[in-house]
Amino acid sequence: MIRPEIISQSPVFMGITEAEITRLFQQVHYQVKSYGKSDILVNAGELCDRLIVIQEGSVKAEMTDYSGKTIKIEDLEAPFPLATAFLFGKNNRFPVTVVANNEVRVVVIPKAEFVKLLQWNTVILNNYLNTISTRAQFLSQKLKFLSFKTIKQKIAHYLLEQAGDRLAVVELPQTQEQLAEMFGVTRPALARALGEMNQEQLIEVQRKSIRILNKERMNQLLNG
Amino acid sequence: MIRPEIISQSPVFMGITEAEITRLFQQVHYQVKSYGKSDILVNAGELCDRLIVIQEGSVKAEMTDYSGKTIKIEDLEAPFPLATAFLFGKNNRFPVTVVANNEVRVVVIPKAEFVKLLQWNTVILNNYLNTISTRAQFLSQKLKFLSFKTIKQKIAHYLLEQAGDRLAVVELPQTQEQLAEMFGVTRPALARALGEMNQEQLIEVQRKSIRILNKERMNQLLNG
DNA sequence: CTTCATTTGTATCAAATGTTACAAAACTGC
DNA sequence: GCAGTTTTGTAACATTTGATACAAATGAAG
């Protein structure tokens, strides 16, 4: 029923041999469920009391707004787990409705059984802790980034972070277009801000190559 | 050395009897360390490979900016744990420097030992998972809120959330001043946005009482 | 009711950014 | 080198919001 060769590729079960997975799953209760295209796997608001791992096919997560319209949030495919971030915590309800994109087969492990796996197997425990911790760290980073109001602040933060303690020339690894999207601003606005910082002798812009001229004043931008 | 009556109040060890805590701590390696006022417990950037629980006193978390100036981030006191969010995950380094505010005594549990505790004791495991999951959910919420660009969007989101499926009149539980701060905008800007939405027949504002007139168009604000 | 403090509504101006458009520069494949 | 595409620089204008100020409305205390 379960396919260890796929499960073992899932972030939560990574690093576990197929044999070990087979053995572990013999000792917990779980279900393998199949869905056809457009079937609903999970309704938004439903209690998240089980871990769902996609074994075959792909699903999409949709969010329903207050007027009832649905918006697609993301696609997930085998071997990824669903909503690892909502198995625990205060508000452990699915924030999204999950719909099958095609023929889908999933493994459903009740929360209590999954806790057993976490306690039995250090690798699974570490994998799971790493997964949600990494997510929290990612969100935290993103939040910090958004806390900077002006574009110049975002640029300053980004450049100082990229530069670290090393040399003062930062090579942009992306186009300004992509950077602008990361910053959540328009491309001309980003170019304008870069241009102004250039004039203010904060940085020296030469296409993708940016030299930091004044770390001190860059910081003042961020704090004072 | 450890004080079970304090540790048992810590979020991670909540729900465990003092006797059980004493027993558990006999089976893991840990240290109790003391610090004087202004001593540094942890330097930013240091590997976060241990759980630190404050047993007595209080500490402050400071962040050092790129020019070397330090900014206070938050205060933490007994019986709270330090940096639970950074024990696991990809980037498990302390993001802040931790400094003692006064005479401080902490319990330090190496990561590997803490993993043992998680595997031995379901309550600790659940507490810890709940702690970091709740944090991730909180961050996720906050991020969603910040993703709304205009003040009107923030108002629409807030009102629709408050209203839920129930009646269409929302009583503001705070002053506009406080609401404005929550939204990260100035008070006059909030009042202006409310006034405009009033004119546009989206809502009917009467001081702290706001009636939602058109849910459909409120949603259009959020999405399209 | 009167007086004072708080809260709310409104106006004006400046700053920052979005929107749109276009040209210059750099890159790509030939 | 050349033609076409992508990327970048720049401009003009509209929109949104911040900053500041002040008046009107409300609420609280006497």
In the beta sheet, which residues pair with residue A64? A70
Over residues A32-42, mean pLDDT: 95
Closest CA to B59 of B82, B87, B84: B82
A208 secondary structure, DSSP code: T
Nearest to A122 among B85, B115, B133 (CB): B115
Determine the topology of domain A4-135 in CATH.
Jelly Rolls (2.60.120)
Contact criterion met (CB < 8 Å) for B89 and A133 = yes
Do you know the residue count of chain B? Answer: 224
Number of CB pairs, chain A paired with chain B, less than 8 A apart? 118
Closest CA to A42 of A62, A69, A68: A62
User: How far apart (Å, rounded) are the C-alpha atoms in residues B85 and B133?
Assistant: 9
User: How far apart (Å, rounded) are the C-alpha atoms in residues B47 and B57?
Assistant: 24
For the domain spanning B4-137, the CATH number is 2.60.120.10
What does the pLDDT read at residue B119?
Answer: 93
Q: Which nucleotides of D are covered by protein (CB under 7 A)?
A: 6-12, 16-21, 26-27
Q: Does B145 touch chain A (CB under 8 A)?
A: no
Closest CA to B89 of A141, A13, A133: A133
What does the pLDDT read at residue A70?
Answer: 76
What does the pLDDT read at residue A109?
Answer: 96
Nucleotide nearest to B206 (CA to C1'): C8
Contact criterion met (CB < 8 Å) for B134 and A91 = yes
CA distances A178 to A35, A57, A152, A171, B153, Å, are 37, 30, 16, 14, 25
Closest CA to B142 of B130, B156, B127, B154: B154
What does the pLDDT read at residue A224?
Answer: 61
Class of B146-222 in CATH:
mainly alpha
Residue A122 backbone dihedrals phi, psi, to 5 degrees: -65, -35
Mean pLDDT by 10 residues, chain B (224 residues): 92 95 95 95 92 94 74 86 90 90 95 94 95 90 86 94 80 92 93 95 90 87 75
Angle at A173 between CA A171 and CA A175, to 5 degrees: 105
pLDDT surpassing 70 at residue A167: no
Nearest to A146 among B69, B87, B146 (CB): B146
CA distances A164 to A168, B44, B219, Å, are 9, 14, 43
What does the pLDDT read at residue B64?
Answer: 74
What does the pLDDT read at residue B73?
Answer: 80
Which residues, in sequence order, are CB contacts of B27 under 8 Å at separation 6+? B116, B120
Give B134's contacts in chain A (Cβ within 8 Å). Answer: 88-91
Give B135's contacts in chain A (Cβ within 8 Å). Answer: 136
Q: Does A224 touch chain B (CB under 8 A)?
A: no
DSSP string across B75-99: EEETTPEE-GGGSSSTT-B-SSEEE
pLDDT for A97-152, tens place per residue?
A: 999 999 999 999 999 999 999 999 999 999 999 999 999 988 888 888 888 889 99
User: How far apart (Å, rounded) are the C-alpha atoms in residues A112 and A106?
Assistant: 18
What does the pLDDT read at residue B69?
Answer: 67
The gap from C-alpha B173 to its chain's centroid, in whole angstroms, comes to: 22
Tokens 């938050």 found at: B74
Over residues A5-26, mean pLDDT: 95
Tokens of A7: 């499960």
Q: Where are the domains of chain B?
A: 4-137, 146-222
Tokens of B13: 């060890």
